[in-house]
Chains A and B, each alone.
Chain A
Amino acid sequence: MDENLASFTIDEQNPSCLHCRGNWVGADLADVEKHINRRKLPNNITQIDVSAIDEFDTVGAYTLMCLQQSFARDIALVGASDEVKALLALVQDKRHTYSALRPAQEKNPVTLLGKIAVTRFGYALSLLAFIGEIWCNIMRLFSRRSHMPMKQFFATIEITGVQALPIVGLLTFLVGVVLSYQVSLELNKYGAGIFSVELIGLAILREFGPLIAAIIVAGRTGSAYTAELGAMKINEEVDALRTFGLSPNEYLVLPKLLGLLVTFPLLAVWADMFGVLGGMIMSKGMLHLSYYEFLSRFAKTVAVKTYFIGLIKTPVFAFVIAAVGCYRGFQVTQGATSVGRQTTLSVVQAIFLIIIIDAVFSIIFSWRGM
């Protein structure tokens, strides 16, 4: 292959003639192109001899044309076969210069900032509009003017609820174990190990159970909603639904949202159970507190109120996860990258909102002295 590499040399007898030889095809032309671009060619060239070119394709033709035009005057081609001539003519006929058409890019930072602000504001508005539409649909559902596909609703319950049980249970169990370990380690120093029961109970029931469950569900279900709706949008399935007179919002979003509203509070209860179980098992190891002692102290010191304060947040979390997930899914515009970007945004924003809402709840509760 090597001796057939594309190249050009100056004729030794006739210094005004350039000889091209080898295979002038795509993959082999990089050196030739560099050579041309270096513009070290003598000025007295008047003709190019192409009779020694073996294979020739359009990339070769393009390069040959560049070579020919790198001199400031007309250069004659000699020894061109019909094939070379035909391809050269084709290239010359249809050529375009690249530099001419790059779209102008905005450079002024103030304009850029303004544009970003306007798009962000647009996002916020459209999210509000989306949530409004969801509420309208829920209202219509209760006034029996629309109906939801029950099959999807129950499928959502199975996928987001039943199938999430093992992972939610395992992770909150481990959080309970870790929490109990740290708490009893410290409290034991003061001989106050028994108080770890209240601490674990409060922390798990009020905060960690619902919060951990929300984070897992945001990563598991919110992302799935976004990817599913996004792919449906790219496939024009969403448009197909519209042509049947169905609102995608009603047909696709409602079952997902209502399904999650049913399953998420239950998942939080499940998380509470396993968190406390983890704490209980660890307490036995660390503090030699028997299960009976743990549970009876738990019942005496942890008020039922705590449990309900934890649970009252869960429908809000579920709504946020489902709404953000679906909204992001509908924001997918084109192609696979867009699905990836929106899925990332969906999870990040859902978790962000959940933590903010959790903080807001804490402030409200402390303000009401709960």
Chain B
Amino acid sequence: MDCPAIEISQLCKRFDTNWIHKDLSLTIPQNQMVAIVGGSGCGKSTLLKQILMLEAPTSGSIKLLGCDCAKASEQALREVRAKTGVMFQQGALFSSYTVLENVAFPLKLFTKLSRKLINEIALFKLSLVGLSQDVAHKYPAELSGGMVKRVAIARAIVADPKLIFLDEPTAGLDPESAADFDDLLLFLHKSLRMTVVMVTHDVDTLYKVPDKIAFLGEGRVLAFEPLTTLRQNPHPLVQQYFSSARTIRAETAL
């Protein structure tokens, strides 16, 4: 399959009279790590929701792995969904399931493997994200914030998706856990060869992880390029975003 992982063309979206996206186009090739950034309220989460088919676009088309979401059949959509994994900002773990059941959930849904093998694979994915076996039988409410994020990403990758979405993966983590998480993302990307799309505000992550950054503003993608060239981009919104003290501090620390 050589089609792009995500192909968004001329996407428009409005809530009542409020246009969030006006003619937004973005093509993300397979096997890349892409970050979506932009000021607060510029529509990053809304874009993610539309890509995930949780929110319908007002007009325009979104193709995931070559499949047009608006026109595809139920069967085709199911296949696409089996190939995508999502990690929500708050984790969105099922509170009535144990960690192991949470991670095994997509496998039970999308494969017909035996329960034993499913559980073993789920455990393997848990250790892949750096969790020990002891947490497997705990409930989400008994976990710390960092552990919830790890379980959430284990659940997102358990069925070996081609495409994985992360909403603010490192938000709310302490700097060391955040750095660990960045390493984990890089490791997973390298070893499992997935296309990774993340929304993030974490400047350290932006420096370390993504291949390219899509900068949202004015309802469209203002720039889609690696960080080094994005920093030179003359657009005032981009300059403003990167001129904050925090960014400069992160840069000097590098």
- A residues sitting closer than 8 Å to B (CB atoms) are 25-27, 29-30, 33-34, 37, 57-59, 62-63, 66, 83, 86-87, 90-91, 94-103, 333-338
Measured between alpha carbons, how far is A291 from B164 in the docked complex, in Å?
Answer: 73
Main secondary structure of the interface of A (DSSP, over half): helix
CB pair B139–A334 under 8 Å, yes or no, is yes
CB pair B117–A66 under 8 Å, yes or no, is yes
Q: Which residue of B lies closest to A341 (CB)?
A: B96
Measured between alpha carbons, how far is A66 from B124 in the docked complex, in Å?
Answer: 13
CB pair B191–A63 under 8 Å, yes or no, is no
Task: Decide yes or no: A95 and B136 within 8 Å by CB, A33-B117, A62-B117 being known contacts.
Answer: no
Main secondary structure of the interface of B (DSSP, over half): helix
State the Cβ distance, B114 to closest chain A Cβ, in Å.
6
State the Cβ distance, A357 to closest chain B Cβ, in Å.
34
Please tell me which stretch of B104-112, B197-205, B206-214, B236-244 contacts chain A, meaning at least 4 of its Cβ atoms lie within 8 angstroms of it. B104-112
CB pair A26–B123 under 8 Å, yes or no, is no
Q: Which residue of A lies closest to B127 (CB)?
A: A94
CB pair A62–B120 under 8 Å, yes or no, is yes
Q: Is B151 an interface residue (CB 8 A)?
A: no
Q: Which residue of A lies closest to B106 (CB)?
A: A26
Interface pairs (18), CB distance under 8 Å: A26-B82, A26-B159, A27-B110, A27-B111, A34-B114, A63-B117, A90-B191, A94-B127, A96-B120, A96-B123, A96-B124, A98-B123, A101-B133, A334-B142, A335-B94, A335-B96, A335-B139, A338-B95
What residues on B are CB-neighbors of A34 within 8 Å? 114
What residues on B are CB-neighbors of A27 within 8 Å? 82, 110-112
Measured between alpha carbons, how far is A154 from B12 in the docked complex, in Å?
Answer: 45
CB pair A94–B117 under 8 Å, yes or no, is no
State the Cβ distance, B116 to closest chain A Cβ, in Å.
6
Question: Which 4 residue pairs of A and B lie closest in terms of their CB atoms, listed nearest first?
Answer: A335-B95, A334-B141, A30-B112, A57-B160
Q: Which residue of A lies closest to B93 (CB)?
A: A335
CB pair B160–A58 under 8 Å, yes or no, is yes
What residues on B are CB-neighbors of A102 within 8 Å? 137
Measured between alpha carbons, how far is A343 from B193 in the docked complex, in Å?
Answer: 46
Task: Decide yes or no: A98 and B139 within 8 Å by CB, A26-B160, A30-B112 being known contacts.
Answer: no
What residues on B are CB-neighbors of A25 within 8 Å? 160
What residues on A are CB-neighbors of B191 within 8 Å? 86-87, 90
What residues on A are CB-neighbors of B137 within 8 Å? 101-103
Measured between alpha carbons, how far is A259 from B124 in the docked complex, in Å?
Answer: 54
Measured between alpha carbons, how far is A120 from B153 in the docked complex, in Å?
Answer: 38
The one of B94, B127, B192 that contacts A96, using a Cβ cutoff of 8 Å: B127
What residues on B are CB-neighbors of A63 within 8 Å? 117
Q: Is B170 an interface residue (CB 8 A)?
A: no
Q: Is B121 an interface residue (CB 8 A)?
A: yes
What residues on A are CB-neighbors of B112 within 8 Å? 27, 30
State the Cβ distance, A54 to closest chain B Cβ, in Å.
12
Q: Which residue of B lies closest to A66 (CB)?
A: B117
What residues on A are CB-neighbors of B141 within 8 Å? 333-335
